[in-house]
Amino acid sequence: MTLEGDEGEEAREIALVMIDKSGYFDLINSEQDPRVAYIGGSVYPNLPPRARDFASNLHYLFRSSVVLHEDAGDAEREVLSRWSSHCLDVATAYALGGPEGSPPAPPWLVDCDAALKNTLRERYPDVDEVSVSCSFERRLHAWSIPADKKIRISAVTREYLRTLNLIFWNAIQATAFGERAEFDYRGGWDAIRESRDRIGDAMLPYLASPYRRLDLSLFPVWRAASVDAYSMAVRWTMVQLTFMLAHEYAHILLHAGHVAGNRDLEKEADYFAYRVIASDSFPGKSNLVVDWPSIDWYFRMLAMQSSIGRLLNDCSADWQQDVIRRRGLEIHSMANFLGVRRGVLALDSLVSVTHVAALQHFVRDLGEDGVRGRVGDFLASRTKGG
Ligand SMILES: [Zn+2]
Distance from Cα 304 to the centre of ligand 1, integer Å: 18
Q: What is the pLDDT of residue 156?
A: 92
pLDDT average, residue stretch 4-18: 57
Share of the chain above pLDDT 90, in %: 25
Asked whether the predicted pLDDT for residue 337 surpasses 70, the reply is no
Cβ–Cβ < 8 Å for 93, 51: no
Asked whether the predicted pLDDT for residue 288 surpasses 80, the reply is no
Distance from Cα 330 to the centre of ligand 1, integer Å: 14
The listed range with the strongest mean pLDDT (66-70, 178-182, 316-320) is 66-70
For residues 270 and 278, give the distance between their C-alpha atoms in angstroms, rounded to a whole number: 12
Distance from Cα 299 to the centre of ligand 1, integer Å: 13
Nearest to 341 by CA among 288, 303, 262: 288
Distance from Cα 267 to the centre of ligand 1, integer Å: 8
Q: What band does 308 get if pLDDT is binned at 50, 70 and 90?
A: confident
Higher pLDDT, 175 or 386: 175
pLDDT average, residue stretch 81-98: 85
Cβ–Cβ < 8 Å for 144, 248: yes
Q: What band does 258 get if pLDDT is binned at 50, 70 and 90?
A: confident
Q: What is the pLDDT of residue 341?
A: 53
Distance from Cα 251 to the centre of ligand 1, integer Å: 7
Higher pLDDT, 91 or 328: 91
pLDDT in tens, 202-254: 888 888 888 888 888 888 888 998 888 898 899 889 999 999 999 999 999 99
Cβ–Cβ < 8 Å for 20, 73: no
Nearest to 323 by CA among 278, 271, 267: 267
Please name the amino acid found at residue 94.
Y
Lowest pLDDT segment from 91-100, 241-250, 300-309: 91-100
pLDDT in tens, 149-202: 999 999 999 999 999 899 888 877 765 554 434 444 445 556 556 666 777 778
Distance from Cα 89 to the centre of ligand 1, integer Å: 37
Q: What is the pLDDT of residue 312?
A: 81
Cβ–Cβ < 8 Å for 269, 250: yes
Please name the amino acid found at residue 91.
A
For residues 116 and 245, give the distance between their C-alpha atoms in angstroms, rounded to a whole number: 8
Q: What is the pLDDT of residue 278?
A: 80
Which residues contact residue 337 at a Cβ distance below 8 angstroms, ignoring those fewer than 6 apart?
none
Distance from Cα 42 to the centre of ligand 1, integer Å: 42
Distance from Cα 265 to the centre of ligand 1, integer Å: 7
Nearest to 284 by CA among 61, 108, 85: 108
pLDDT average, residue stretch 255-265: 80
Please name the amino acid found at residue 64.
S
Asked whether the predicted pLDDT for residue 11 surpasses 70, the reply is no
CA distances (Å), 295 to each of 72, 166, 292, 329, in order? Answer: 31, 15, 6, 9
Count helices and strands in the chain by DSSP H and E runs: 14, 5
CA distances (Å), 242 to each of 123, 127, 225, 234, in order? Answer: 18, 15, 25, 12
For residues 48 and 50, give the distance between their C-alpha atoms in angstroms, rounded to a whole number: 6
Please name the amino acid found at residue 48.
P
Q: What is the pLDDT of residue 193?
A: 61
Distance from Cα 12 to the centre of ligand 1, integer Å: 36
Q: What band does 285 get if pLDDT is binned at 50, 70 and 90?
A: low
Distance from Cα 255 to the centre of ligand 1, integer Å: 10
Distance from Cα 245 to the centre of ligand 1, integer Å: 10
Higher pLDDT, 202 or 78: 78
Range list of H helices, 6-136: 10-13, 25-28, 34-37, 49-63, 74-95, 107-120
Asked whether the predicted pLDDT for residue 284 surpasses 70, the reply is no
The listed range with the strongest mean pLDDT (14-23, 167-176, 307-316) is 14-23
For residues 360 and 177, give the distance between their C-alpha atoms in angstroms, rounded to a whole number: 21
3-state helix, strand, coil in the chain (%, to 5): 65, 5, 30
Cβ–Cβ < 8 Å for 132, 114: no
For residues 253 and 248, give the distance between their C-alpha atoms in angstroms, rounded to a whole number: 9
pTM of the model: 0.84
Asked whether the predicted pLDDT for residue 114 surpasses 80, the reply is yes
What mean pLDDT is reported for the chain? 78
The SS3 call for residue 151 is strand
For residues 318 and 91, give the distance between their C-alpha atoms in angstroms, rounded to a whole number: 37
Q: What is the pLDDT of residue 344?
A: 46
Asked whether the predicted pLDDT for residue 84 surpasses 80, the reply is yes
Distance from Cα 354 to the centre of ligand 1, integer Å: 28
Cβ–Cβ < 8 Å for 292, 132: no
Angle, helices 227-254 vs 263-278, to 10°: value is 130
Cβ–Cβ < 8 Å for 217, 47: no
Lowest pLDDT segment from 100-109, 160-169, 256-265, 271-280: 256-265
Q: What is the pLDDT of residue 1?
A: 44
Lowest pLDDT segment from 3-17, 78-92, 175-189: 175-189
Asked whether the predicted pLDDT for residue 90 surpasses 50, the reply is yes
Of the CA atoms within 13 Å of residue 302, those in its CB half-sphere come to 20
